[in-house]
Amino acid sequence: MVPLNWYLILSAFVFSAGLYAALGRRNAIAVLMGIELMLNAANINLVAFWRFGVTPAENLDGQIFALFVIAVAAAEVAIGLALIISVYRNRRTVNLDDLDLLKG
């Protein structure tokens, strides 16, 4: 069996990569990809802790939570991409450095 730590290390790396994409990329779509990576890292942790819990065949809460996360991510990406397309239609750019209307 794969040790629990391996899953945790993998998910920590994927989460950090997603965080950097969300904070440091210029294109709004790349930011959305980073958010998807972070959600995937959370799912890896949920599944790993489900597998190493007591009686994994009966206590399915970790898997159920992961399925909820997948569904919410699908809703989130649909809304996010619609917002990006709407912004592109109005401003002709999805460059986040140019979208600073709220800056004081």
Partner 1 sequence: MPELPFPLPPLPTVQQVVFVGIALLTVVGSLAVVLARNLFHSALGLVAAFFGAAGVYIIAEAEFIGVSQVLVYVGAISTLITFAIMLTRGMMFGATSPRNRQSGTAAIITSLTFIVLMALMNGIKWPQASEPIVDGQAIIAGLGRAFVTEYIIPFELLALLLLVALAGAIVLAKDRN
Tell me which residues in 44-83 interact with partner 1 (CB under 8 A). Answer: 44, 47-48, 50-58, 60, 63-64, 66-68, 70-79, 81-83
- Start-to-end CA distance of the chain, whole Å, equals 54
91 binds partner 1 (CB under 8 A): no
> Which of residues 77 and 102 has its CB atom nearest to partner 1 in the complex?
77
Residues 18-37, interacting with partner 1 (CB under 8 A): 18-21, 23-27, 29-30, 32-34, 36-37
Torsion angles phi and psi, residue 26, rounded to 5: -90, -30
Angstrom distances, CA of residue 104 to CA of 4, 7, 101: 47, 43, 8
